[in-house]
Each structure stands twice: as C-alpha cells, then as structure tokens.
Chain A
Amino acid sequence: NAGVTQTPKFQVLKTGQSMTLQCAQDMNHEYMSWYRQDPGMGLRLIHYSVGAGITDQGEVPNGYNVSRSTTEDFPLRLLSAAPSQTSVYFCASSYSRRGANYGYTFGSGTRLTVV
C-alpha cells in the first residue's frame, strides 16, 4: 500500500495562475480531507469529502475547489493563486466501521509558494 500520495511535493506559482494539487489513496477510505498549514501554526481544514460525489467546505474554503469523482482521488484546485495561499497543503484519508473510529492517514504534503 502506498497510503496517501500527494503530488507535486513543491510548486511555485505566479499570482493569478491556477493549478491542481493531486491526492490519491489506495486504502479504500471513504473520508478524505484537505488541510493547509501556515508557518508556526496548526492545520486548518479547507474542504472534505465523506464519499465519492460528496464534498463540503471546511474552515478556510475560499479560493479552493474540490471534487470527488472516485473513492481514490480528491484533487484540490486553486482557481487564481494569491500570495496568501502560500502554505503547506496536506491531504488525509480515514474510514470507520460499525461506528468505530480510525485515525487519519496523512500525505507528505505539497509546499506551495505564490509569488
């Protein structure tokens, strides 16, 4: 199992450019999330999905779009990059069975710089 795979690992964008951060998991987890982490701060939830075809907004959704067409993939799209979106982005997945909770598995992150 590869776990949660994020690509790219590093990216530099110019203000106004768009791009998609990729996230894939091979564990058949129904829950997937995107977080951002600014320097010296904790993680903040951007968007999440509780299953294919279902997405919802988290704490800081503005400027980002997501879709969940398959269980495995949960891409995050930046529509028009801004310097305030310079951050490290983490994707995570999880599952539950018969009400039992299981911990999230996180990817290794995408370090994005917007200039």
Chain B
Amino acid sequence: DAKTTQPPSMDCAEGRAANLPCNHSTISGNEYVYWYRQIHSQGPQYIIHGLKNNETNEMASLIITEDRKSSTLILPHATLRDTAVYYCIVRRSSGSARQLTFGSGTQLTVLP
C-alpha cells in the first residue's frame, strides 16, 4: 500500500470548515483513498473513501487531485464532537491488501 503523509495536528474554529490534507504521491492506479477518525478511546470510525472522483456523504467531502497524489478531507461545519485523530489510508481492494495500515494521523482540535 502507498505511504501517506499528514500534518500531525490542526486546529479549527467551531462552525468553520475543517480541511485536512493528505499526501500520497506513490499511489497506484488501483488504490483507494480512505479516511477514518478516532475519537479519544473509541474504535476508529469510517468516514469516506474514493478512487479518483470527488465524493460526498453525510459526514464529509473528499477531494482528490487530478494526479491522485494528494487529497483533502473536508468537514463542512466542524463541531466540538469532531475533535479526533483523522487517518488517511491508501490501499488496494482485494485479498490481503484489504487490510488497513494506519499511520500516525492528524489530531484535529475544534475550538469553541
């Protein structure tokens, strides 16, 4: 699986959009970009994933650059409950490669 690089920490004001970047310059054509988050002491929570098109769901939007070497997770209106560690993961779809490799993630702190 391709390696990802994320900033170790970010702050965001409550009610504003939180934009979390991820670099995955060695991504292969059949690798997806996944985002998970982990709120303190809880199990990780799946947020969103994409291959090459931008994606949106009820939690967030995922913007993937045209060359697929980087992506941005957008939380449109951050709340205090969005404070968590956010993990960007790149992986293929089949067999053993479906397992997740977690890096150190980005600690997002939403400030009141």
| Chain A residues with a Cβ under 8 A of chain B | 4, 31, 33, 35, 41-45, 48, 50, 56, 58-59, 88, 90, 92, 94, 96, 99, 101, 103-109
Contact = CB atoms under 8 A, between A and B. Distances in A.
A45 B99 contact: yes
Interface stretch (B13-21, B74-82, B90-98): B90-98
A109 B42 contact: yes
B65 interface: no
Contacts of B44: 43, 90, 92, 104, 106
Interface residues of B, number: 24
Nearest to A33: B99
Nearest to A43: B102
Contacts of A44: 102
Contacts of B98: 31, 50, 94, 96, 101
A68 to B, nearest CB: 14
Contacts of A104: 36, 44, 46, 100
B101 A45 contact: yes
